[in-house]
Amino acid sequence: MAVNNSSGKTTKKPATFAVLPKIINGGIAGVIGVTCVFPLDLVKTRLQNQQIGPNGERMYTNMFDCFRKTYTAEGYFGMYRGSAVNILLITPEKAIKLTANDYFRFHLASEDGKLPLKRQCLAGGLAGAFQIIVTTPMELLKIQMQDAGRISMSAKASGQQVEKLTAWVLTKNLLKERGIVGLYRGLSATAVRDITFSVIYFPLFSAVNDKGPRKTDGSGEAVFYWSLLAGLVSGMTAAFSVTPLDVIKTRLQAIKKADGEKEFDGIVDCIRKTLKHEGPKAFFKGGFCRIIVIAPLFGIAQMVYFLGVGELILGIEQKKTI
């Protein structure tokens, strides 16, 4: 049955949902996106983990200062510290996130192809919940690698020796000390952040994406530049909205602290101590940096996802999803 979607164009619910090409599209989209924005993500992590000293001292004064000091101390490749683990795991993470959202949207839509806002939010939330299986260990390892330079600089300033950290050594130590549970440190905070982000991001992306011009191939998908724009706008909005949740998650997942920095025992304890010692502004540390990480990451990822590389590889006709 044909219906009018939010862009005013006639469409109908497809008979089946092809999972494999969507997984391929999501994996490729994730690798390309994260490679482009990783240095910004590293700066964001270091700014969020940085705590203000008793006399107001801090290692980095702002995003640009962090860039400068990181490049000076660690060089160009230092800006990609921890990228290997992220690129390796971003493939299943983005594949799960983007495919799961499309999958749940497909199954939650009515027979005439309509999907109310509440169901769009539910589909996004479920996609966010599914992705934490991969996101939690990926971000745990990434954060330790990204923050290692900051911890090292702090330790050297105090005359201490710092053991070189690798993702493999870190993984082995966590598995040895805490088992598989060790890789899921900060699971609750990651779930809260990712589910909230997805509930905001996916319905907004769909609304913006449906307003743009369509491809001429009959697929019904938006032209590539409009998907990029929709991803940028939606990613920026969702990223800013959940920045406080991201700060909490990042701090809970940081295993090593610089001298004098506080340990946190769960989400509530992190909120309480951060408010007490640093004030509400601390929950928006790295906020601007996070926006300029997430916006292009999701803009690029959504653009690549809808290019239909997976369908092309498998010889499947690309059809518009709900």
* 145, part of any domain: yes
* 6, part of any domain: no
* 319, part of any domain: no
Q: Is the pTM above the cut of 0.85?
A: no
* 303, part of any domain: yes
pLDDT in tens, 186-245: 999 999 999 999 999 999 999 999 999 988 877 678 888 899 999 999 999 999 999 999
Contacts 24+ apart (CB under 8 A), 50-56: 50/150, 50/285, 51/257, 51/258, 51/260, 51/261, 51/262, 51/277, 51/278, 52/277, 52/278, 52/282, 53/260, 54/260
* 235, part of any domain: yes
Q: What is d(CA 55, CA 164) in angstroms, rounded to the nearest whole number? A: 30
Q: Which residue is associated with the tokens 């992306």?
A: 205
Q: What is d(CA 153, CA 58) in angstroms, rounded to the nearest whole number? A: 12
pLDDT in tens, 12-70: 666 678 888 888 888 888 888 888 888 888 888 888 888 776 677 788 888 889 889 88
- CATH number, domain containing residue 306: 1.50.40.10
Q: How confident is the model at residue 108 (pLDDT cuts 50, 70, 90)?
A: very high
* 176, part of any domain: yes
Name the residue among 171, 186, 174 with its Cα closest to residue 250: 186
178 is in which domain, residue-wise? Answer: 13-314
Structural domain tally of the chain? 1
